[in-house]
Amino acid sequence: MAQKPSIPKGTRDFSPLEMIRRNYIFDTIRNVFLNYGYQPIETPAMENLSTLTGKYGEEGDRLLFKILNSGDFLKKTNLDDFANPNINNITSKICEKGLRYDLTVPFARYVVQNRNDITFPFKRYQIQPVWRADKPQKGRYREFYQCDVDVIGSNSLINEVELILIIDEVFVKLGINTTIKINNRKILSGIAEIIGEADKIIDITIAIDKLEKIGLEKVNEELEAKGLSQDAIDSLQPILNLEGLLKDKFPKLMEILADSEVGMKGIYETMTVLKHLKELNLKNKWSLDLTLARGLNYYTGAIIEVATDDMKIGSICGGGRYDDLTGIFGLPDVSGVGISFGADRIYDVMNELDLFPKEGLQTSQAMLVNFGSEEEKYCLKILKEIRDKGISAELYPDSAKMKKQMKYADQKSIPFVILIGVEEMESGLFTLKNMSTGEQQKVDMDQLIKILKK
């Protein structure tokens, strides 16, 4: 054998069984999206690098897959570029395209580009793969599918509520127990403002986000390392320690954030959303989590993240509101909010917990045994009649040994085998074999159809 072929790191092939299960996830999610009035779009796998860079933070830029210019990709470079190599400088000269990192930024670009043809508020869903040059591990791939729903051009908090309803419905349908965590970037901004470190908002949120994972002490260490003053860290403590019931949390928060306009706005927004949720009887658990931060830079309002309690795999759904994503592309004052389901992680969870429906592979309902060229001709006509009745059927393509043909039907779990040889051709009857019981009977076309239709 020659060199074994392989696929790039972090990418995967999907077998027929895996595809059936993946499609089950996609179909379930898509149907919920449609039910809530969202419409599909697709965008290209690659975008201009200028569309992508700077939208995801420093880490995000590092994880962008860049595409080498076609043709003589060195023609814009000169010897000086290589004498004192600067990766960013060289990259900008040899790459002008990149693979999409998520679906939200391309969506914002789409909205700006098509603004005259879009009726706002625009509710769209999009199910496509995205690529990240990350180091693969469990639940982390370099190519994976996101299922995004966003509504853009509406400030109403009803949108947030509806998106959370979608989350609840999708995971009920898939049978996954989840906790939906909700927070608001404005609250986080307010906190940063109150402790006098407004410019360090990103460092603060990233550190706070780790609270559950590494504990209060380590978080404080990290804050100190990022250059926060001891005073600021001290005044942050009451917030980090804020636990208990919702009705207790809010008054305390309002007290702390009373002097911050943004902070108060964030509290108002969050309270409005949570009030609605209380009325709506969600099946999944949900909670206000002040430590939820989310790394993506463009969020400005509500932020949402969903994890399952039954498996350690990170978040399986996340999103939030972004007020100025289209502004970057030249269309200001259009706010959007959306969430993204991670289909591949959802697959891993369902696989681990054995949540897929038990139906096996979809196969033909019946297989006709191939006895030779005369029988083949006869069988093709029979086959057409069967298929015209809406029954999936196939003829074994070669007149191989009976044993081989039976084995094929057995392994593909085809429930019925039809034998048509010389004898059957003369009598006009078919020999029908039930593969699970092993029983055989002679039937005419009407009886055959009747049995196969069951």
Q: Which residues bind RNA (CB under 7 A)?
A: 1-3, 6, 8-11, 57, 59-60, 63, 102, 132, 134-142, 144, 146, 206, 209-210, 213-214, 294-296, 312, 314-318, 340-342, 344-345, 371, 401-404, 406-407, 410-411, 417, 419, 421-424, 431, 433, 435-436, 438, 440
CA distance 306 to 178: 6
Q: At 169, which helix (H) or strand (E)? A: helix 158-174
CB of 8 to RNA, least distance (A): 7
Is 67 or 313 the residue whose CB approaches RNA more closely? 313
> Which CB sits closer to RNA, 34 or 214?
214
Q: CB-wise, 327 or 421, nearer to RNA? A: 421
With respect to RNA, which residue has the nearer C-beta, 32 or 267? Answer: 32
Smallest distance from the beta carbon of 427 to RNA, in angstroms? 10
Please state the closest distance from residue 3 (CB atom) to RNA, in A: 6
* Complex with RNA: residue 167 or 191, whichever CB lies closer: 167
- 371 by Cβ neighbours in 10 Å (0-12 / 13-18 / 19+) ranks as buried
Instruction: Please state the closest distance from residue 170 (CB atom) to RNA, in A.
Output: 12
Q: Which is nearer to RNA, 33 or 144 (CB)?
A: 144
- Residue 206 Cβ, how far from RNA at the closest point, in Å? 4
- Give the residue from 184, 154, 158, 197 showing the smallest Cα distance to 264: 184
The residue among 259 and 423 lying less far from RNA, judged by its C-beta, is 423
Considering beta carbons, is residue 146 or 260 the nearer one to RNA?
A: 146
Backbone φ and ψ for 19, nearest 5 degrees, come out as -65, -40
Question: How near is the Cβ of 93 to RNA at its closest, in Å?
Answer: 20
Give the SS3 label for residue 317. strand
Residue type, 8: P
d(CA 38, CA 122): 8
Angle of helix 158-174 versus helix 261-280 axis, rounded to 10: 50
- Beta-strand runs (E) in 388-429: 393-395, 416-419
Can you tell me the distance from the alpha carbon of 40 to that of 30, in angstroms, rounded to the nearest whole number?
9
**DSSP 3-state percent helix, strand, coil across the chain (nearest 5):** 45, 20, 35
Handedness of CA 339, 343, 345, 348 (dihedral sign): positive
Q: How far is the CB of 159 from RNA (least distance, A)?
A: 18
Residue 205 CB: number of other CB atoms within 10 A? 22
Residue 245 C-beta: closest distance to RNA, Å? 27
Compute CA distances 70 → 52, 65, 74, 304, 337, whole Å. 19, 15, 10, 40, 36
- Name residues whose C-beta falls within 8 Å of residue 136's C-beta, 6 or more positions apart in sequence: 9, 10, 142
Render 42-101 in DSSP notation, one character per residue: ---SEEEHHHHTTSSHHHHHHT--EEEPSS-TTTT--HHHHHS--HHHHHHHHEEEEE-S
Between residues 356 and 378, which has the closer beta carbon with respect to RNA?
378
Element (H, E) at 213: helix 211-225
- Whether the CB-CB separation of 133 and 64 falls below 8 Å is answered with yes
As measured in angstroms, the least distance from the Cβ of 203 to RNA is: 9
Query: CB-wise, 261 or 423, nearer to RNA?
Result: 423
Residues in the chain: 454
Smallest separation, CB 417 to RNA (Å): 7
Nearer to RNA, 3 or 362 (CB): 3
Least Cβ distance, residue 116 to RNA (angstroms): 30
Nearest-approach distance from CB 409 to RNA, in angstroms: 7
118 or 328, CB closer to RNA?
A: 328
Contact 325, 106 (CB under 8 A): no
Q: How far is the CA of 251 from the CAs of 190, 239, 267, in angstroms?
A: 15, 12, 10
Distance separating alpha carbons of residues 438 and 433, to the nearest angstrom:
6
